Amino acid sequence: MDELDTKLAAARTHLMLDQPFLGALVLRLPMVAADPRWCPTTATDARQFYYNPDYLAALNLAQTQFVLAHEALHCALSHFARRQHRVRNRWDLACDYAINPLLLAEGLTPPPGINVLDEFSGMTAEAIYPLLGDNNTDAPLDQPADAAKAPSNPDPPRHTEATDEQDPPPTGAPQPPPLSHEAREALSVQWQQRLAGAAQQAQQAGKLSGPLTRLIEELLQPPLPWQALLARYLSLNARDDYSYLRPSRREGAAILPSLRSHQLDVVVALDISGSISDQELATFITEINALKGQVRARITLLACDAALDPDCPWLYEPWEPCHLPKTFAGGGGTCFTPVFAWIDRADRQPDLLLYFTDAAGEYPIQEPHYPVLWLVKGKHAVPWGVRVQLN
């Protein structure tokens, strides 16, 4: 245990010197040797860092830094409080896929068997989760500590799966109790404050990388759900204004402001290449229906993969509900040019083009003169316009 204590102290010291942001977070977790029967590797309940002495003894100093930072970053990102309705093992795996690329990009040395995919780099756990298969059997680096004993528990501590065939004798701390809802919320706020403090400390030392800076900014100023962003954007484009024109004499002598509302012309384009599911398309159209009447928007609906659907456009007045056609002729590759070409041929100047897509396709070379709002599933960038993340 003396050797392990020395290794843990050295690992924390190296993190404080080389990675002050991660080191400051690690220092917030007291180190506790745990009973191997419930903690085969490492674990955290957002209060303490639990470790299996045999597991840590097998790691070198650099790998020890990785597992310390890994657990601390789970806490700082409030993964313990963000799962909501999601399936536990799939959520834990998504969290690992979100964290591990960050630590590798910082130059940390991983222990054997970590989960990492380049395609998930830069994505949040919420964005990664729907991309994982329902039957994925991969084991995350951390997992609920008491999953086998209390699978219905909403927020147990996290740790890796046990692999020993026989339970070792109790040699460390017992399994901690699960977090209550109140404790989870309080810890989430506390870790957000610690995150901000650690970031400020690292910035002052000039040792906060670009990816971590962007991550911290997103966490401290979280984005609104896409439905709220869409509603805000449509409302800003709604052409409602007050008029002080003199009323008729029958209305009296006083000149009071009156609201003049004009109809919005909105083109909505759907990516039907197969990257967007029918359920997601239906959810999107439901949201459009909820908003179009409020802003008096006339909707022109287009569907496109590599070419426009031959049956489009579909036109809907502000009082008419939009609905999806029963079938689309799409399912091929993705090209955005046909939608913009159709608008040009129709000699249209819409108030807004709203494109629902995964953003992976061929774009027009020239940016149009009208505003474009991309509602994007996945992590692909767009060359111009306003990008709103779906997940």
Q: What is the average pLDDT score of the chain?
A: 82
Note the pLDDT tens digit of each residue in 199-212. Answer: 888 888 888 888 88
Alpha helix ranges (H) inside the chain: 2-18, 20-26, 53-57, 61-76, 88-105, 125-128, 181-204, 210-220, 226-237, 278-292, 337-345
Instruction: Give the torsion through C-alpha atoms of 143, 149, 151, 154, to 10 deg.
Output: -70
Task: Find the angle CA(143)-CA(149)-CA(152) to the nearest 5 degrees.
Answer: 75
Structural domains for the chain: 2-220 (no CATH), 226-389 (3.40.50)
- Beta bridge mates, 34: 173
pTM of the model: 0.60
CA 354 to each of CA 226, 300, 310, 376, 387: distance values in angstroms, whole numbers, following the listed order: 13, 10, 20, 11, 10
Note the pLDDT tens digit of each residue in 14-29. Answer: 999 999 999 999 999 9
Note the pLDDT tens digit of each residue in 328-378. Answer: 765 668 899 999 999 999 998 998 899 999 889 999 999 999 989 898 888
Q: How far apart are CA 140 and CA 142, in angstroms?
A: 5
